[in-house]
Amino acid sequence: MMKPFVSVITPTFDRRASLYRLLQALADQTYPAACFEAVVVDDGSTDGTAEAARSWPLPFRLQVLQQSNRGPAAARNRGVKNAMGELMLFLDDDVVPVPDLIAAHVAAHESKPNFVVVGPMSPPSDWPRQPWVRWEEEKLQAQYRALLAGEYPCTPRQFYTGNASISRDLFLAAGGFDPNFKRAEDVELGWRLFARGVSFAFDPRADVLHYASRSFDSWCGTPYQYGRYDVVMGRDKGHEVLEFAARNFHRRASLSRALARLCVGRPLLSAAARLALRATVHSADRFRTHRLASLALSGLFNLLYWQGVCDELGGRKEVLRLIEDMRSQPSSGSLDLRAEVRDSRKSLGKWRMTSVPVSRTQLLGNARDSAGPVDKS
């Protein structure tokens, strides 16, 4: 039987060295080089990425496309448009796949033809990382353990395109990524796929090492943008992500909940809390008090997420009302996500979202600030 042709789609911006590392790892795949290609979309790089990539000798077909800086959603869409494969494998430019990665994705789709397949993004052992990156890694690893233990299923909330695959036909039928989303564009597409009856599967064999690195300020921008985009997804797209976040709020640590309730929508208090938590993180890291740094980062992430929700939703009162409306509908942990969606809709009968006007720049933020996925609720 002929092996399916796979297109590996990777957007990149000013990461020539890490892109080289990725492509060299693809050269070591056990999947036949004649049966896959890499489609690199250079999203406005200034470091000579495209020219360098075209000069690298590789055993597989390589397409290098260039465009002005339009963000990862537009870059991935262009990659798919030009791809030759029947299976699209999305990889970020800062990952290194295991030798069996492509073969594992292909095998998973053979047994699950109407599925999106999500693979893990594992922390490398030879990579120094900042405490906030380590915190992300720990949250992801906890999700993977829960998925493998059957505590909950793989859903659109785990559709992270740092390492995920989907058939070209399913991708195009859903309309691809929404280029207006500069953050959470993968989860937003995941919800549209879910609405079309597509299921999601986690396969631990399809592994990559994730060499993540970002500044603390960059990391802080991530939960804030997630919060704003979750409101946009609910208001403009009809997705249920914000309702799930509000339900899960009541499962957070008591200090994180109290901090969010106290500070969200109150600029002076919020700024003071952020400064205090930032100082705690750096001090804890300096003295290698890992547990304290992790607690401070969890509190800060939760606060920034709900501040983003607040700014997009219309104010403090709207956020607190949403959270309280969801108090009587805590997350059940059920494996039936579709039933959970129905329950959320019933409980939101009288609740409606409003918004305050914001500039496009405020909403979209830095189009190229790449951050790792975590449980943002």
For residues 273 and 331, give the distance between their C-alpha atoms in angstroms, rounded to a whole number.
28
Which residue from 170, 183, 156 is spatially nearest to 239, judged by alpha carbons?
156
Residue 152 DSSP class: S
pLDDT score at 329: 64
The arithmetic mean of pLDDT across residues 342-358, rounded, is 35
Q: What is the dihedral of CA 250, 251, 256, 261, to 10 degrees?
A: 0
Residue 157 DSSP class: G
Q: How sure is the predictor about 127, in pLDDT bands with cuts at 50, 70 and 90?
A: confident
Task: Enumerate the β-bridge partners of residue 62.
Answer: 38
For residues 72 and 70, give the distance between their C-alpha atoms in angstroms, rounded to a whole number.
7
Q: How sure is the predictor about 335, in pLDDT bands with cuts at 50, 70 and 90?
A: very low
- Mean pLDDT rounded to a whole number for the chain: 87
Q: How sure is the predictor about 325, in pLDDT bands with cuts at 50, 70 and 90?
A: confident
- Structure-token pair, residue 90: 């999305």
pLDDT score at 126: 83
Residue 372 has pLDDT above 60, yes or no: no
Residue 150 has pLDDT above 50, yes or no: yes
Give the global pTM: 0.85
For residues 289 and 246, give the distance between their C-alpha atoms in angstroms, rounded to a whole number.
30
Edge-to-edge strand list for the sheet holding 87-91:
61-67, 36-43, 6-12, 87-91, 163-167, 115-118, 199-202
Residue 237 DSSP class: I
Instruction: Quickly list H helices, the chain.
Output: 16-27, 49-55, 72-82, 101-111, 131-149, 168-174, 185-195, 216-232, 241-249, 254-263, 267-286, 290-313, 316-325, 337-347, 360-364
pLDDT score at 6: 98
Residue 238 has pLDDT above 50, yes or no: yes
* DSSP calls for 254-307: HHHHHHHHHHTT-HHHHHHHHHHHHHHHHHHHHTT-HHHHHHHHHHHHHHHHHH
Percent of residues, the chain, with pLDDT higher than 70 = 86
Residue 178 has pLDDT above 70, yes or no: yes
- Structure-token pair, residue 57: 């000798």
Residue 116 has pLDDT above 80, yes or no: yes
The arithmetic mean of pLDDT across residues 344-371, rounded, is 32
Percent of residues, the chain, with pLDDT higher than 90 = 76
Task: Enumerate the β-bridge partners of residue 90.
Answer: 9, 164
Radius of gyration of the chain (CA): 20
The arithmetic mean of pLDDT across residues 2-20, rounded, is 96
Residue 139 has pLDDT above 70, yes or no: yes
For residues 111 and 89, give the distance between their C-alpha atoms in angstroms, rounded to a whole number.
16
Strands 163-167 and 208-210 come out as unpaired
Structural domains in the chain plus CATH codes: 6-210 (3.90.550.10), 216-364 (no CATH)
Q: What is the pLDDT of residues 263-321, one digit of tens each?
A: 999 999 999 999 999 999 999 999 999 999 999 999 999 999 999 999 999 999 999 99
Q: What is the pLDDT of residues 52-107, one digit of tens each?
A: 999 999 999 999 999 999 999 999 999 999 999 999 999 999 999 999 999 999 99
pLDDT score at 2: 84
Residue 326 has pLDDT above 80, yes or no: yes
- Least-confidence region, from 17-21, 130-134, 165-169, 356-360: 356-360
pLDDT score at 359: 32
Which residue from 279, 95, 73 is spatially nearest to 178, judged by alpha carbons?
73
Q: What is the pLDDT of residues 97-111, one digit of tens each?
A: 999 999 999 999 998
